[in-house]
Amino acid sequence: MFQEGDIVARRSHRQDIYFRIIRVETSLNGERYAVLKGINLRLLADAPLTDLVSKSMLDVAHYQRRDSREIYQKLNLVVHQRKVNQQEQGEYFEVPGRVVHLDGDEEYLSQCLKTYKQLGLEAKGICKSETEQPNVIYQILKENPTDILVLTGHDGLLSGKKDFKSLDSYRSSRNFVESVQEARRFQPNKDALVIFAGACQSNYEAILEAGANFASSPKRMLIHAFDPVFIVERIAFTPIDRMVSLKEIINHTITGTDGVGGIETRGQLRRGYPRSPY
């Protein structure tokens, strides 16, 4: 009865997350199941059709309204802080860090690019699957000079896996690790190229060890699609002569310290003087 595009939740998880059905398939034992994508969390999952509950347009509207309210509050806080900072600059002007964002999900990438624009950031988005990213990132960086690199998509602990340290326990963490390593082969300086990498439940420690400045997920939690955007905004608008406040930058995210974290990193904002009247 379910089909591609339907919005559903899982009975087995108390209907806590809403998903869009990507496709419906049949397992080797003949059981019908759906491949699911979170509508606001970077999560891919699958579930038997018998576990799914269809959600009405009204249900979805309430769910998205709660999510939008939290995002709006975060955006409002950012805009307010930006105005205060600009008033303090006087005759100086600002050149925030540039962003290149690779994402394995075109829909999420489009949403992120829209939010970057709202935040006054220059960002180039490139849709590449998690498995493609390690193979293309070096060339992309050669062709697209940037200060901040974002590598996102979908990830998650594989069913039945208990070893949180092993990359074999994750859907895409190995790809993120290899992508970061390739990026660091291009630019090893962590202040010359700031990297955020990871998605839901990613192997946080392995991604940081590979050379990322920020990553997900310290407690193997689900992360919000916009968590990387709010991390990047703070980096891009922190002056280059200052270190980003780790507590402040994590507090700017939706998920918080359970979902994202990182290491001390220099900001990427450069001030200019004087401000042109034109």
What residues form DSSP beta bridges with 25? 33
Consecutive sets of 10 residues in the chain, 278 residues long: mean pLDDT of each?
A: 93 92 91 91 88 94 84 76 69 91 94 91 96 98 97 91 94 97 98 96 97 96 92 94 93 92 96 84
- Rounded-to-integer distance, Cα 163 and Cα 232, Å: 30
Amino acid 89: pLDDT:
67
Amino acid 88: pLDDT:
67
- Rounded-to-integer distance, Cα 140 and Cα 151, Å: 12
Give me 61's structure tokens.
């509207």
- Domain 93-272: CATH architecture, name and number where available: 3-Layer(aba) Sandwich (3.40)
Strand bridging mode 123-127 / 99-103: parallel
Amino acid 276: pLDDT:
81
Measured between alpha carbons, how far is residue 84 from residues 78, 122, 208 in Å?
Answer: 10, 21, 33
Amino acid 3: pLDDT:
92
